[in-house]
Amino acid sequence: MLSEVPRTSCLVFIALRAISIDMTQAARRRGIFMTCIFLSLFPFSLLHAAPASLQYQYGEQVFTIEPQKSWLEAKDVPMYRGRELRFATGESLPHGVVMEKKQTWSKAKIASMLDRTIGAVINREAGSVRIHRDTNDAIVFDGLGLNGRLLDLDRTAELTLLALEQNISVIQLPITETEPEVVVEDPELQAMGIAELITIGESDYAGSPKNRIHNIAVGLARFNGQIIPKDEEFSFGKILGPVNAKTGYLPELTILGDKTLPEFGGGLCQVSTTAYRGAWRAGLPITARRNHSYAVRFYFPPGTDATVYPPWTDMRFMNDTAGAILVQTHHENNKAYFLYYGTKPKERSVELVGPFTWDPIAPPPDRIEYTTELPLGESRVLSKRVPGMKAMWYRIITDEGMDAEPEQFASYYEARPYYEEIGMGASPPGIVKTPEKNVIRLSEETTITLPRDGRTGPRIRIRR
């Protein structure tokens, strides 16, 4: 229920709408609806709280940038009785209006920063792919059908200026997308409705250890060329199959209850998260998805991950498009991709709004335990300090002009302590057996001990 939305979420939610441009009638209705929620929860004074950071959003991709002092510059501005005025270029100033030096935000400096931090990640050329079958009847992809993306830098800088002036913290990025060239040569695939790019799931796993990178590549390859028939459910675990050394996986860290330990296939959640994001972004019905028990840095932003642990935990979605869906997977420069080809629902638009995070929880106290599972003196770290939180995303689907009720995708992340185990050997040391001995009592206070094994001489002991 919307009544459960955290207060801080509502503030950002309405801020997002306040800065939207060219809103459709349906979007305006949502904006009014959210405004009512916002006004019922917030005192008016909060509207004037300056944002500590700016959050730029494109689908599930989020960029957080703190306003910089370097964005400021001294500029002559027209002032009248302490108030700044705006005039068209070349317009003469009325009587009483004077030019004064003032620190203002520089659009050019802001645009330069946005180009380096966001444009470098977002911008890419549209790709092309030729889909056919080889002599063994296997599906072959020649090329990669990535869509092109171009950040409207000038408009983003303008929206940033507006956000700074109006104390708005969330900005939806204006991005122009270009469709890739998709050529399907196989008649059977054409008959299934495989004709164009529907959606793309992406994730970044930079900084992963060697075994994790290996497992991600093996897992991605398992899904390349898979077909999801119309009106059928996609099951990540069913297609993935067994995960062990025989299927090509290496041991890597995996969350196992309250411990993080090496297990075959560690890192496969990067693959399931990538697959999930593509289906989620396309508006496909999500039938099973669970977040990780604690927030993992490879799945930023929070609330966009999908953990799997076959056969108990799965990620599933329905293909409700007009035809079958063909999957192409790819990895390059520490990024994983799921490309879904088929027939795109022409009247469907999808908007992802989030993440809204609340209820932060500090990591618990450090946890140190001794175990007989490790050799004496060895130790292993089972988890590092991770704060907990709750996260919420909203997915708003407009289909054939009809606005569906916003879907909620909630995630609950536990706080984890620093957890270390220290080895104490295979078993605790036993009590040392006292050698047999003869004791001669000379008096109440004096005794002579004669060990029977002969390894030591007599010992005289005097009690005082």
Return the SS3 of 99. strand
What are the residue ranges in the chain where pLDDT is below 70? 1-50, 426-445, 447-464
- Bridge-based pairing state of the strands 419-423 and 367-371: parallel
CB-count burial class (<10 Å; 0-12, 13-18, 19+) for 26: middle
Give the CA radius of gyration of the chain: 32
pLDDT at site 310? 83
Residue (of 394, 233, 212) closest to 315 by Cα position: 233
CB 326 within 8 A of CB 342: yes
Q: Concatenate the DSSP letters of all residues of 358-406 into one string.
A: EEEEPPPPPEEEEESSS-TT-EEEEE--B-EEEEEEEEEEEETTEEPPP
DSSP 296: -
The model scores a pTM over 0.85: no
Which own/partner contact pairs does 63-72 have at CB distance under 8 Å and 24+ positions apart?
Answer: 63/117, 63/118, 63/121, 65/113, 65/114, 65/117, 67/164, 68/113, 70/109, 71/105, 71/106, 71/109, 71/110, 71/113, 72/103, 72/104, 72/105, 72/106
How large is the angle between the packed helices 153-166 and 107-114, nearest 10 degrees? 120
Give the containing element (helix H, strand E) for 18. helix 7-18
Sequence-distant (6+) residues with CB within 8 A of 191 are none
* Structure confidence at residue 47 (pLDDT): 38
pLDDT of residue 31: 45
Domain ranges of the chain: 192-361+391-414, 432-464
CA distance 325 to 279: 11
The first and second tokens of residue 2, run together, are 């919307």
Give residue 14's pLDDT: 40
Provide the phi-psi class of 265: left if phi over 0, else alpha when psi is between -120 and 50, else beta.
left
Which H helix or E strand runs over 287? strand 286-288
Question: Cis peptide before 285, with omega less than 30 degrees from 0?
Answer: no
- H or E element: which one contains 218? helix 210-223
Q: Report how far residue 376's alpha carbon sits from residue 373's, in angstroms, rounded to the nearest whole number.
A: 9
Amino acid 448 reads I
Q: What is the pLDDT of residue 434?
A: 53
Question: Prior bond to 301 cis, omega within 30?
Answer: yes
How many helices and strands (H and E) does the chain possess? 9, 30
Written as one letter, the residue type at 25 is: Q
* Sign of the alpha-carbon dihedral angle for 139, 142, 143, 147: negative
pLDDT of residue 373: 86
The identity of residue 193, as a single letter, is: G
Q: What are phi and psi of 269, to 5 degrees?
A: -65, -20
DSSP string, 132-168: EE-TTS-EEEEEE-PPEEEE-HHHHHHHHHHHHHHT-
* Inter-CA distances, 66 with 51, 52, 70, 164, Å: 9, 7, 11, 11
